[in-house]
């Protein structure tokens, strides 16, 4: 998919190199290859359309037509436009730490997207930055999810707040924040319940938690392997909860980053971190230029 985009562009420009002059048709041919590669990679068609028209406009400017190395100029235009769509040097990709601790972070997403693992990864990330973290198991439906978070907490030596007998997720969240305040924690990470599909009860519950604790960040955890589905789900979560950012997991798989491009465009919300494996340190801040290079292959 994406891995071959660079090769395809090289092939297009190799043809061109034999000619005396670059023409508009040559550029349109190259643009077409980019378009196909993005569609093949499951990038949302509306996103592709917008992206392509921006690239075409820039590429048809004198820059490429006059250049002695049109292939490189063209690839740079595509790369720069990708960086731009992925957020450029937008500082909103950083986590906003509340000047009055604790900073409250709510993780939301479908079951299996990697929420609980990501809660552990985030805890480790903050721990490395000298922060005292409280992890909160706020999934009242799956005791296994509580077990999973407790195991992660033990591994990281991070406190985990849970209440196995409580059936009210809002109450758990409120109590957890109170506990974090009295224990002078810097960051509270709330792992909420997920479902296999979006349903109203889940959304209501998440909205109620949001209202009750007023989180600094609501991060939507998206599985990069699920392509278009991840985009649609992100859209719904954003409409319901007005998320503040996205964490894209499982980028160690085949996914080349198409989901990153679509989610950013469709929700307008920044990607903040990426997960690149099952281990707790397989996690890094999101860098638009790295993702653009990955997409270009
Ligand atoms: P949750 O249901 O959303 O809490 O998801 P989990 O955290 O339980 O993760 C579901 C599965 O995805 C587990 O097997 C995790 O080990 C795995 N997982 C989570 N993040 C990543 C990642 O970045 N890369 C890979 N390869 N697997 C991941």
Is residue 116 within 8 A of residue 249, CB to CB? The reply is no
- Pick from 108, 119, 122: nearest CA to 205: 108
Ligand 1, atom nearest to 249 Cα: 23
Partner residues linked to 275 by β-bridges = 283
Q: Is 90 annotated as a binding residue?
A: no
Q: Is 178 annotated as a binding residue?
A: no
Tell me, using a 6 A CB cutoff, whether residue 277 lines ligand 1.
Answer: yes
Q: Is 206 annotated as a binding residue?
A: no
Q: Is 113 annotated as a binding residue?
A: yes
Tell me, using a 6 A CB cutoff, whether residue 113 lines ligand 1.
Answer: yes
Tell me, using a 6 A CB cutoff, whether residue 162 lines ligand 1.
Answer: no
What confidence tens digit (pLDDT) does each residue in 135-180 have?
999 998 989 999 999 999 999 999 999 999 999 999 999 999 999 9
Separation CA 46–CA 14 (nearest Å): 30
What confidence tens digit (pLDDT) does each residue in 265-284 have?
899 999 999 999 999 999 99
Tell me, using a 6 A CB cutoff, whether residue 275 lines ligand 1.
Answer: yes
Strands 217-223 and 245-249: parallel
Tell me, using a 6 A CB cutoff, whether residue 278 lines ligand 1.
Answer: yes
Tell me, using a 6 A CB cutoff, whether residue 121 lines ligand 1.
Answer: no
* pLDDT at residue 255 greater than cutoff 70: no
Tell me, using a 6 A CB cutoff, whether residue 111 lines ligand 1.
Answer: yes
End-to-end CA distance of the chain: 9
* pLDDT at residue 37 greater than cutoff 90: no
Report CA(14)–ligand 1 centroid distance (Å): 42
Ligand 1, atom nearest to 111 Cα: 2
The per-residue pLDDT for 13 is 67
* pLDDT at residue 71 greater than cutoff 70: yes
Tell me, using a 6 A CB cutoff, whether residue 116 lines ligand 1.
Answer: yes
Tell me, using a 6 A CB cutoff, whether residue 215 lines ligand 1.
Answer: no
Report CA(250)–ligand 1 centroid distance (Å): 7
The per-residue pLDDT for 3 is 46
- Out of 146, 202, 278, 281, give the residue to mutate to test ligand 1, the one with the largest number of ligand atoms within 8 Å of its CB: 278
pTM exceeds 0.80? yes
In this structure, the chain runs to a length of: 297
Q: Is 114 annotated as a binding residue?
A: yes
Among 76-90, 181-195, 197-211, the minimum mean pLDDT is found in: 76-90
Give the pLDDT band of residue 23 (cuts 50, 70, 90): confident
Q: Kindly state the helix (H) or strand (E) to which residue 248 belongs, with its residue range.
A: strand 245-249
Burial class (CB in 10 A: 0-12, 13-18, 19+), 197: exposed
Q: What percent of the chain has pLDDT above 90?
A: 55
* pLDDT at residue 1 greater than cutoff 80: no
Tell me, using a 6 A CB cutoff, whether residue 114 lines ligand 1.
Answer: yes
ipTM above 0.95, yes or no: yes
Report CA(254)–ligand 1 centroid distance (Å): 15
């Amino acid at each position: 998919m994406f891995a071959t985009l660079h090769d395809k562009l090289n092939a297009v420009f190799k043809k061109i190199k034999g000619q005396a002059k670059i023409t508009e048709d040559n550029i349109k041919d190259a643009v077409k290859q980019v378009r196909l590669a993005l569609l093949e990679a499951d990038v949302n068609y509306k996103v592709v359309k917008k992206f392509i028209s921006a690239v075409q406009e820039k590429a048809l400017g004198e820059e490429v037509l006059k250049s002695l190395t049109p292939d490189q100029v063209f690839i740079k235009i595509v790369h720069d436009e990708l960086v731009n769509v992925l957020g450029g040097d937008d500082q909103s990709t950083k986590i906003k730490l509340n000047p009055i601790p604790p900073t409250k972070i709510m993780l939301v997403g479908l079951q299996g997207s990697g929420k609980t693992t990501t809660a552990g990864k985030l805890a480790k990330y903050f721990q490395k930055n000298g922060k005292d973290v409280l992890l909160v198991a706020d999934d009242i439906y799956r005791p296994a999810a509580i077990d999973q978070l407790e195991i992660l907490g033990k591994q990281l030596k991070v406190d985990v707040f849970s209440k196995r007998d409580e059936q009210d997720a809002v109450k758990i969240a409120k109590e957890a924040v109170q506990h974090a305040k009295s224990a002078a924690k810097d960051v509270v990470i709330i792992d909420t319940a997920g479902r296999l599909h979006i349903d109203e009860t889940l959304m209501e519950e998440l909205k109620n938690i949001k209202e009750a604790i007023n989180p600094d960040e609501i991060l939507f955890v998206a599985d990069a392997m699920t392509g278009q589905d991840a985009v649609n789900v992100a859209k719904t979560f954003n409409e319901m909860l007005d998320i503040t950012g996205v964490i894209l997991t499982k980028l160690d798989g085949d996914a080349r980053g198409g989901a990153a491009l679509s989610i950013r465009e469709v929700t307008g919300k920044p990607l903040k971190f990426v997960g690149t494996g099952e281990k707790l340190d397989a996690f890094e801040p999101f860098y638009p230029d790295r993702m653009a290079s990955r997409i270009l292959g």
